[in-house]
C-alpha cells in the first residue's frame, strides 16, 4: 500500500527550522498503514529535511549557524545570480532533500528528542512537502 500526502509550509525567515512531525503523524494515521515507512520530501533545491533535536531550539540555531559558517552567503560562488542563494543550494546538499522514518502501529517512530524539520535556507518562501507512507 502506498499513500501520498502533501503539506504546504510558509517560512518567515531566510534560515528557519520548522517542525513537521505533528502534521506528518496525522497523514500517517489517515493513510491506514499500520507498519512500514514514511518518506518526507521537499520539492525544492534551497531547502532540506532533517531529523534532529526539537526540545531545545538552541540546537537547530547552532546547526544553522554552523552551516552559515561552512557556506557563508557572501562567498565566492559562480552561481552569482540576482537571488544570491548559492549558499542555500550548498546547505541543502549537505542536509539532504528527504528523511525516512519507520511506521509502527499507525504512527511514525521518533526517538524521545527527535523532531522532523523542514530546513529553510532561502526564505521566506512557500514550500511544498510530499509525504509517502509505504506498508500494510
In the complex, the residues that contact a copy of itself under the rule CB under 8 A are 1-2, 4, 35-37, 39, 41-45, 50-53, 56, 58-59, 61-63, 65-66, 70-71, 77-81, 86, 89-90, 92-104, 109-114, 128, 130, 132, 134-136
36 φ/ψ sector (left φ>0, alpha ψ -120 to 50, else beta): left
Q: How far is the CB of 45 from a copy of itself (least distance, A)?
A: 4
Q: CB–CB of 50/99 below 8 Å?
A: yes
Nearer to a copy of itself, 25 or 94 (CB): 94
Q: How far is the CB of 123 from a copy of itself (least distance, A)?
A: 16
Q: How far is the CB of 12 from a copy of itself (least distance, A)?
A: 20
Task: Please return the burial class of 59, using the count of CB atoms within 10 Å of its CB with bins 0-12, 13-18 and 19+.
Answer: middle
In whole angstroms, how far apart are CA 95 and each of 20, 30, 84? 16, 28, 19
Nearer to a copy of itself, 14 or 53 (CB): 53
With H, G, I as helix, E, B as strand and everything else as coil, classify residue 27.
Answer: helix
Amino acid at each position: 500500500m502506498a499513500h501520498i500526502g502533501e503539506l504546504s509550509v510558509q517560512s518567515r525567515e531566510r534560515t528557519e527550522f520548522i517542525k513537521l512531525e505533528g502534521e506528518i503523524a496525522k497523514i500517517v494515521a489517515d493513510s491506514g498503514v499500520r507498519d512500514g515507512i514514511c518518506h518526507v520530501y521537499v520539492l525544492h533545491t534551497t531547502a532540506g529535511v532533517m531529523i534532529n533535536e526539537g526540545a531545545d531550539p538552541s540546537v537547530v540555531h547552532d546547526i544553522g549557524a554552523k552551516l552559515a559558517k561552512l557556506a557563508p552567503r557572501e562567498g565566492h560562488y559562480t552561481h552569482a545570480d540576482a537571488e544570491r542563494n548559492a549558499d542555500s543550494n550548498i546547505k541543502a546538499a549537505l542536509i539532504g532533500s528527504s528523511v525516512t522514518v519507520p511506521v509502527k502501529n499507525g504512527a511514525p517512530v521518533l526517538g524521545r528528542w527527535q523532531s522532523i524539520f523542514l530546513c529553510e535556507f532561502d526564505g521566506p518562501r512557500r514550500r511544498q512537502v510530499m509525504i509517502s507512507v509505504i506498508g500494510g
